[in-house]
Amino acid sequence: MNTLIFKDLLPVYKAKGPRDYKYRFTVFTPVFNCENSIGKVHESLLNQTYKDFEWLVINDASTDNSHEVISKIVETSPLNINYVNNKVNKHKMSCFIQSIGLAQGEFLLTFDGDDQCYPHALQVFNDEYESLDDNMKQKVAAVTALCEDQHGNLVGTEFPEDPFYCHTFEAKIKNQIIGEKWGWTKTDVLRDIEINPEMLNIGFTPESIIWSTVARSGFITKCTNKILRIYHVDVEGSIMNTPMTSRSAHGTVLNGIGHLNWFFNKYFFTAPVFFLKMIYVMLRSSKFLKIPLSAYLKSIKPFFVKLIVFFLWPFRGLLR
């Protein structure tokens, strides 16, 4: 990390052309201590009316009996299962990057190890894409739907119309679309994103840095207000739950610098509070890192952001 600047770690999209795939979907499940819930995930996939998919399961060095439970499922299940048992914990982002390289499906859909979905989910996802004309199929890199929690409550907000076509970052700040959503992304597009391995080594980086790379590369997402996933809230021991440490601070800072460089100049006056909060979180996270101010200033592009960081740097220890 001493020889690299944050901006050198940011993902870059470079189109390389289409590839051949064995399945329509790769349903990817990252697992960490899901011995009590992975069976429900398997049941959801068994019940799918659309069958052209593989189930890619990556067990991220669970400390419970997840490996034994998954192994039994693999032995008896009629599904096409590719099971990978990581011996060392990598965290969800690294598992996701791992899944991109392993996927044999044209569309990659993440389905967490403690969630469920409705039997028509994959059919709806496929139909939503097939309803596009050839021109739109080139532009659309993802299809996204809604979630409800285990109590039947809608998670987050609906889309303003159905279908709704959007640049995902712009939709977040302009349309105030919030809350958990669920959707697939073209595996080709994800494989065309070049990842600096050091980005994964420095700590836990949010997946939003990948979705924003897709959006800033000119692709759009088709959104539907159909509810397809049951998202279990308040789950303890999730692969997602990571307290703020130097490992998570690196990723938070990198994610902040990326979004500020990519979107600040174009969207600041649309959502000033959003960007000011991002600067605040970045500065607060920097307290956990032994990285000099110069590394930040070399990586941050917007001049106004540079000024804020420069003047607030001596006071960042006061941020809570």
DSSP letter for each residue of 85-135 = EESS---HHHHHHHHHHH--EEEEEE--TT-EE-TTHHHHHHHHHHTS-HH
Determine the Cα angle at 228 with ends 222 and 231, to 5°.
110
**pLDDT number for residue 248:** 83
Question: With the C-alpha atoms ordered 70, 74, 76, 78, is the resulting torsion angle positive or negative?
Answer: positive
**pLDDT number for residue 233:** 83
8 Å CB contact between 147 and 181:
yes
pLDDT (tens place) for every residue of the chain, 320 residues total? 444 689 999 999 999 989 999 999 999 999 999 999 999 999 999 999 999 999 999 999 999 999 999 999 999 999 999 999 999 988 889 999 999 999 999 999 999 999 999 999 999 999 999 999 999 999 999 999 999 999 999 999 999 999 999 998 999 898 889 899 999 999 999 999 999 988 888 778 899 999 999 999 999 999 999 999 999 887 554 444 445 566 689 899 999 999 999 999 999 999 999 999 999 999 999 999 989 999 999 999 999 999 999 999 999 989 88
